[in-house]
Amino acid sequence: MSEAVAISPSLSPMAPAKGVGMVRAWLLLIALMVYLMILVGGATRLTDSGLSITEWQPLLGAIPPMSDADWQDAFHKYQTMTAQAQVLNAGMDVNAFRGIYWWEWSHRQLGRTIGVVFLIPFLFFWLTGRTTKKLMPHLIVLFVLGGLQGAIGWWMVASGVNSELTSVAPYRLMTHFGLALLIIAYCFWLWLELGSTRRAAPAAAKPWVNAIIWIVGVQMALGALVAGLDAGRGYTDWPLMSGKVIPETLWALDPFWRNFFENEATTQFLHRLTAYGLLGVAGWCAWTFRATHWSLFALFGGLVVAQAVLGIATLTHAAPLDMSLTHQALGVVVVLAATRLVWTARGAKA
């Protein structure tokens, strides 16, 4: 058996002597819930529901409007506090408002539920000796990141409250989405570290997987900007953009740096270029390391190809809800596949 296909135990010093299976199952559950949170957040964005709740009440906000008067009050705040209501939804009535409200409420409620599902088992594992000195700091960081995510979520929503914006600021959406990806990847990494087996990887693969994880991160951040600007609905031809290789409005905004965050043409153009780069790197690695039978590269390459095809189809159909959510869902899987590559390559021998 070649070095590339051999497997070795990867039990980490951070693994507790008892209950490691429970801890791993809990981490996997948190990761799955964050994954669901990302999808619900995507639906909230695509249905323009994110500004329907104009206040941040971490505890009292769990109680939705219970009477007609409560609904009218929430609707009045939306109408008077957001440009979205005044410009885009001027004809909306309270019944239509309920439809967008429930998306945002569900997104926030899921976040609260994740906090509870994290905290109670965490305390149980700590009090019953199912953690270690090396694992505890990681779990504390995860908890802090979860709380920070809630604060950043409100920071994002606040950009569209009592402002001229008709949606949340794209760069704040990118930050919110990026932190969600970090949390899910962190959970997955710890899950791997606490009991998965690490396949022996060729040493030459290590710099390539480090490059891959960075390219994937940049690509997902660009995707969030494209989503925040609804740029996927502005240039729906491919491989050209409005019939041109380089769109005319690529650097139209002033000052120059605004184009990277607020220009639909620039963000989509960079999103496309990064996708081509990722395809090239993934394909090259799958081919280069084929003789080692290290199939993780081939699997990653297949996921990237599927994501690219789905991205093109989503684009040419003007980003409908179902295709956009599927594209986002597969993007998270690509992030986790890249995370697995990096984790596995850590065991590579020089």
| 294 confidence band (pLDDT: 50, 70, 90) | low
Q: What is the pLDDT of residue 232?
A: 83
The closest of 46, 72, 323, 34 to 180, measured between CA atoms, is 34
**What is the pLDDT averaged over residues 205-214?**
93
* pLDDT, tens only, 217-266: 999 999 999 999 988 888 899 999 989 999 999 999 989 999 999 999 99
* pLDDT, tens only, 37-53: 999 999 999 888 999 99
**What is the pLDDT averaged over residues 183-209?**
89
Burial of 123 by CB count in 10 Å (0-12 exposed, 13-18 middle, 19+ buried)? Answer: exposed
* pLDDT, tens only, 164-173: 999 999 999 9
Cα 88 to chain centroid, rounded: 27
* pLDDT, tens only, 116-137: 999 999 999 999 989 999 999 9
pTM for this structure? 0.91
The answer, yes or no, to whether residue 150 has pLDDT greater than 80, is yes
Q: What is the pLDDT of residue 6?
A: 47
Q: What is the pLDDT of residue 178?
A: 96
**What is the pLDDT averaged over residues 290-302?**
82
CA dihedral 216, 220, 221, 225 (to 10 degrees): 150
Mean predicted lDDT score pLDDT of the chain? 91
Q: What is the pLDDT of residue 4?
A: 45
| 347 confidence band (pLDDT: 50, 70, 90) | low
Q: What is the pLDDT of residue 54?
A: 92
Separation between Cα atoms, residue 123 and residue 118, nearest integer Å: 9
Q: What is the pLDDT of residue 1?
A: 36
Q: What is the pLDDT of residue 187?
A: 97
Q: What is the pLDDT of residue 203?
A: 83
Q: What is the pLDDT of residue 350?
A: 47
Where do we find the tokens 């409007």? 65
2 vs 52 pLDDT, higher one: 52
The closest of 181, 185, 186, 179 to 153, measured between CA atoms, is 179
Q: What is the pLDDT of residue 273?
A: 96
Separation between Cα atoms, residue 322 and residue 32, nearest integer Å: 20
DSSP annotation of 244 = B
**Other CB atoms closer than 10 Å to residue 75's CB: what's the count?**
21
| 293 confidence band (pLDDT: 50, 70, 90) | low
Separation between Cα atoms, residue 238 and residue 313, nearest integer Å: 9
Verify cis geometry, omega within 30 degrees of 0, for the bond prior to 137. Answer: no
From residue 177, give the alpha-carbon distance in Å to each of 182, 232, 294: 9, 17, 31
**What is the pLDDT averaged over residues 14-26?**
89
By percentage, how much of the chain surpasses pLDDT 70? 95
The residues pairing with 244 across neighbouring beta strands, listed in sequence order, are 241
292 vs 147 pLDDT, higher one: 147
Separation between Cα atoms, residue 180 and residue 178, nearest integer Å: 5
DSSP annotation of 205 = G
